[in-house]
Structure 1
Amino acid sequence: MSYAIGLKNFHYALLTDDSSTGATYETPVKLAEAVTAGVEPNVSTGRLPGDDRVVSTASRFNYATVTINTTKLPAKDEAALLGKKLGSDGVLRSKGEAPYVAFGYEVSMDDGTSEFWWLLKGKFQEPSRSSNTSGDSIEYSTPTIVGEFIRREFDEEWKFVGNEENNGFTSAATWFNDVYKPTP
């Protein structure tokens, strides 16, 4: 058994179609270096009581809150993730409608293998940033951006996770070329 020790290769891909016939994405784009990633699923749970005990339980995935922190968030990536306009003068406009995107990343494991993720349909929100005045020591400031991911209409999937530790996983070298599509 291996354990997570690292994080790298943040990518996003714009979702251009999600219908009953399929899901289509643009080519994935690499983001700046990964600092942190958190995935917090929201799950509803129900219990059926009977004969003075719980006789059945069920749960349902609702959505996942995804929080990522990168070394930087260039204006071109912020514009793409939030549907904003980047003017020819290099100024990022504040208005925009965030599009649905897929978000992928790689988790390094302590045995030299990796785990690969694609979160399939989500919208990101305005990033948070804080900066400090310089003092006696150097402190870096990095942006954090939060998104909410839901199930795709096409197949009701919300994520795919591949692990090199699993027999049969052969997609590591091409994982970020496209958003993963399962083989039948």
Structure 2
Amino acid sequence: MYQTGLKNFHFAPLTSDDDTGTVYDTPSKLSEAVSASVEPNTATGRHFGDNEVVATASKLNYVTVNIDMTTLTAEDEALLLGKTLDDDGVLKEKGGKPPYGAFGFEVTMDDGSSEFWWLLKGKFQEPTRSQNTETDSIEFGTPSMSGEFIRRKSDKEWKFVGNESNTGFTSGGTWFDKVYEKPVGP
């Protein structure tokens, strides 16, 4: 199977993450997906002995996530950046603090199946936008956002990825109803 598409951006604010577990608000669907990149930052160490590498180790530091959407509504920006809307629906810039949250999306495959992702604990930063004047051709602008994701405190997980062919989750269905959690038990 090969990746051929991307859709269904979702964000669920994180309300608690401690030794007893993790709790999220209900996921909200964001504007249409254009692109997403997930770039882990790792540290690698090498142990030398007898003039050669005898061991190597690596660890995940954090994950940079870059997303482009068709649009960034005031509601989406408020959700992702912890801002509020005034009574007229205008985004208030003052006082917003980006919340930790889970970011989910769906990758479509060439065989018609899908792969589902949840990145479990991260914050997004102010968006980048670029606009151009109209010319004799049509150009669409897409807002871009970056975020950093880390491991959860509760279980040290940073992502869950499932494929509908072996998990039973369906496109746009149950995967995005809530942030996936591993079943508890043996």
Q: TM-score range by the shorter chain?
A: over 0.9
* 2:103 match: 103
* 1:162 match: 162
Mind listing any 5+ residue stretches in structure 2 that lack a counterpart? none
Distance 1:85 1:9 in 2: 23
Equivalent AA in structure 1 for residue 59 of structure 2: R
CA contact (8 A) 2:11 2:104 kept: yes
Higher deviation after alignment, 48-57 or 88-97: 88-97
Q: Percent identity?
A: 63
Alpha-carbon shift at residue 99 of structure 1 (Å): 0.4
* 2:80 match: 81
* 1:61 match: 60
Mind listing any 5+ residue stretches in structure 1 that lack a counterpart? none
Distance 1:81 1:10 in 2: 12
Is 1:24 the counterpart of 2:27? The answer is: no
Is 1:114 the counterpart of 2:114? The answer is: yes
Distance 1:84 1:119 in 2: 21
Alpha-carbon shift at residue 47 of structure 1 (Å): 0.4
SS at match of 1:108: strand
CA offsets 1:104-139 (integer angstroms, 9 cap, x no match): 000001111111000000000000000000010111
Alpha-carbon shift at residue 156 of structure 1 (Å): 0.3
Distance 1:51 1:106 in 2: 48
Equivalent AA in structure 1 for residue 151 of structure 2: R
Is 1:126 the counterpart of 2:126? The answer is: yes
Question: TM-score, length-normalised on structure 2?
Answer: 0.95
Question: TM-score, length-normalised on structure 1?
Answer: 0.96
Equivalent AA in structure 1 for residue 168 of structure 2: T
Distance 1:114 1:51 in 2: 48
Is 1:149 the counterpart of 2:149? The answer is: yes
Is 1:15 the counterpart of 2:30? The answer is: no
* 2:175 match: 175
Runs of 4+ in structure 1 off by over 4 angstroms are none
Equivalent AA in structure 1 for residue 56 of structure 2: T
CA offsets 1:9-51 (integer angstroms, 9 cap, x no match): 0000010010100100011100111000000000000000011
Equivalent AA in structure 2 for residue 158 of structure 1: W
Equivalent AA in structure 1 for residue 5 of structure 2: G
Higher deviation after alignment, 8-17 or 87-96: 87-96
SS at match of 1:79: helix
Task: State how many pairs are aligned.
Answer: 181
CA root-mean-square deviation: 0.9
Distance 1:7 1:171 in 2: 16
